[in-house]
Structure formats: C-alpha cells, structure tokens
C-alpha cells in the first residue's frame, strides 16, 4: 500500500469520527468512539516498515496528527455533553435552596439526611495498612511530584532506556514528573530505614499518574502500594510468603495464584504475582482480565544490586525484595467491581455506606 492510499484511509477514519461524534448522546458513547478511532489510527503504524525509507517518518507524523485531531474534537464534544447533562439534571431537580431542613420538629425532615461514608479506596487502604503494620512494616506516604533521579535514574532506568516508554510519562512545564509508580520512594525509604534500624521493612502508599486510555481496567490516575524489605538474608521465598500472607488476610480466604516471570529494571529476577479472576467465570469476553482467567495484580522481585548501591547499601552484605500493586485492582477484585471508572465517577453506589 502506497503512502497516498494510507493517507486517504486515515482521513476516512478521522472524517467518520467527526461525523459520528455529533450523534453521540453520552460520555460513554463518546469514549468508546474515540478509543475505537484511535486504535484504528494506531493500526496504520504497522505499515511503516513496508514503506520507502523517505515515507516512514512522514506516515508517523500523519498518524500522530490524526490522533491529535480526534482527541481535540473529543474534548470539545465532551465539554458540550457535560454542559447538556448538567442543564437537564438542573431542570429535573428543581431544588429550592430556601427550603428549611426541619419542618414540624426534629422528627420530621423536609429533605433526607443520610450518613456519609469513607470512599471504598480510602477504606481499603486503611485495611491494607493495618495488615502490613501488624506484619511489622513502617508506612510512608508517596510523593505526587518528583524528579527523574528518583523516578528513573536511581532505579536502573537511564534516559536512553526503552523501559521509560512503558510508563508513558507526564511531565510538567517545569520538568517535574507526576509520579508514574511508587517505586520513586524506594531509595528514600531504604536510606531512612537503614539509618534507623539497619534493615528495611516498609510500605509506601501513593497516587500515580500515566497517559492511559480509559477502559474497564485502566485509568490515568490510580493508587499504588509499594513494599520494600532489605536484610542480610532476604530471599525470593520470603517475598512470596509475604505476598501470600497479605493477600490471604486481605481477601479473608485462600486464593489461587500463580507466579510468572517478568522484567523490571530495578529488580533481578522479576516476577508477576497473579490471582484467579473473580469476574469472568472462565468466559473469554471478560472485560476485566481480557479472557486470560488471571489478574496480574503484583509486580515484584529481588532488588537489583545497583539499586542497593544507589541507596548506599552494600549488595555483598545485604539483599532485598520489593513489590508494587495497584490498590484499585485489589479493591475491584475484593468487591467485584468490574469497571475501574466506577471508583472515580461519583457513582452513588460507591459512596453510600453499607447497611
């Protein structure tokens, strides 16, 4: 396929999106249309190796410009839809703010009063912290803004390392990074704990940010919990036992799990800790696990010797292991919430206290 033919097909995708975006009636419809269009546009990148060398860079630019056009138009339509929904709801409510709260004494309310409740994520974070503190771990709060040195460099990810692409990182105009993972606290935690105790048993709780497309499993903003242990005899067996113990206490039952090899620059060896999906019941159409039957909820491994050196620890004397998991994923699994967006869209079912 020639470049001109591909360009025409890309223009058709954009044109179709512009036409169909005018017909959507909800933010959910718009999101599905936008994501579908962007996936179609990204598929054209597979044609790059087939083109003449002088056309390859041009195709990448054409695709990126088309994606940008779709995203910009989606933002405009999204704003219009939100205003429309607000106007409709405003008319439906017809709330008289002058209405008194009480009428006829304390026993008779003119407006319903309901007791508030902690958000499920807040409630579950408190439970997780409770379990780990009972296991002897200290607790640290993650930074929401950080610098390259702690987010990447100290973790064996120099500027030219391909792993930086995997995090799809945001940067502020001043060059700060809205943290992509709680591992940015690892060096700080090791230094602080070694100074205080000459060993490390700590967890980090923090909010993280990535340039993700929203779907049932992914969000651009989510919570993570990092665990770090450094002792003279730390081992992979201790790591697996720690994870298994925590998960058993958290879910209040024994879960089927499996360990998969994985690569993270700051651990060696690295692994993924997966538990059986509680949603799909072995259906291939499950939107949460993608039909894989397992949810990979923990990335972990033995801390790389170079990372220990960067924290001022002698890797010949000490060993360490670390793990990180998405708190949202665990909350979804525990409460059988099949769409991560429900946790962040003021869903009243999430905010109403349990009876």
Phi and psi at 287, nearest 5°, equal -80, -15
pLDDT by residue (tens digit) across 6-27?
Answer: 889 999 999 999 999 988 888 8
Q: Which residues contact 47 (CB under 8 A, 6 or more apart)?
A: 1, 6, 59
pLDDT at 191 over 50: yes
Name all domains of the chain by residue range, CATH numbers in brackets: 3-93 (1.10.132), 120-351 (3.30.930.10)
pLDDT by residue (tens digit) across 41-85?
Answer: 888 888 888 888 888 888 888 988 999 999 999 898 888 888 877
CA 185 – CA 334 distance, rounded (Å): 27
pLDDT of res. 203: 97
Does the pTM of the predicted model rise above 0.85?
A: no
Contacts 24+ apart (CB under 8 A), 158-164: 161/265, 163/264, 163/265
As a whole number of Å, the end-to-end CA separation of the chain is 62
Tell the burial category of 55 from Cβ atoms under 10 Å away from its Cβ (0-12, 13-18, 19+): middle
What confidence tier does 166 reach under pLDDT thresholds 50, 70, 90?
Answer: low
Nearest to 348 by CA among 89, 88, 95, 119: 119
Phi and psi at 223, nearest 5°, equal -105, 145
Pick the more confident residue, 42 or 311. 311
CA 170 – CA 217 distance, rounded (Å): 20
């Amino acid at each position: 396929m020639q470049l001109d033919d591909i360009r025409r097909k890309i223009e058709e995708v954009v044109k179709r999106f512009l036409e169909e975006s005018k017909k959507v009636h909800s933010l959910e419809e718009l999101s599905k249309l936008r994501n579908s269009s962007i996936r179609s546009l990204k598929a054209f990148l597979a044609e790059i190796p087939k083109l003449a060398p002088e056309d390859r860079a041009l195709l990448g630019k054409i695709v990126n410009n088309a994606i940008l056009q779709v995203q910009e138009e989606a933002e405009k339509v999204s704003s219009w839809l939100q205003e429309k929904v607000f106007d409709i709801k405003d008319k439906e409510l017809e709330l008289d703010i002058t209405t008194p709260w009480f009428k006829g004494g304390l026993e008779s309310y003119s407006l319903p009063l309901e007791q508030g409740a902690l958000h499920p994520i807040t409630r579950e974070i408190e439970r997780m912290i409770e379990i780990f503190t009972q296991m002897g771990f200290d607790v640290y709060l993650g930074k929401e803004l950080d610098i390259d040195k702690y987010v990447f460099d100290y973790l064996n990810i120099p500027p030219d390392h391909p792993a930086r692409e995997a995090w799809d990182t945001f940067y502020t105009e001043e060059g700060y990074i809205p943290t992509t993972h709680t591992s940015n606290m690892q060096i700080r935690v090791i230094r602080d704990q070694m100074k205080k105790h000459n060993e490390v048993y700590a967890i980090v709780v923090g909010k993280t940010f990535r340039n993700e497309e929203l779907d049932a499993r992914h969000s651009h903003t989510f919570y993570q919990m990092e665990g770090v242990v450094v002792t003279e005899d730390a081992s992979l067996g201790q790591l697996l036992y720690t994870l298994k113990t925590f998960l058993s206490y958290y879910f209040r039952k024994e879960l089927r799990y499996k360990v998969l090899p994985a690569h993270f620059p700051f651990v060696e060896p690295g692994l993924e800790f997966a538990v059986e999906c509680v949603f799909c019941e072995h259906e291939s159409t499950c939107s949460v696990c993608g039909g894989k039957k397992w949810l990979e909820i923990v990335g972990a491994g033995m801390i790389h010797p170079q990372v220990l050196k960067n924290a001022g620890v002698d890797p010949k004397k000490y060993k360490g292991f670390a793990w990180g998991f998405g708190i949202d994923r665990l909350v979804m699994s525990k409460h059988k919430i099949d769409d991560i967006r429900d946790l962040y869209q003021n869903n009243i079912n999430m905010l109403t206290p349990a009876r």
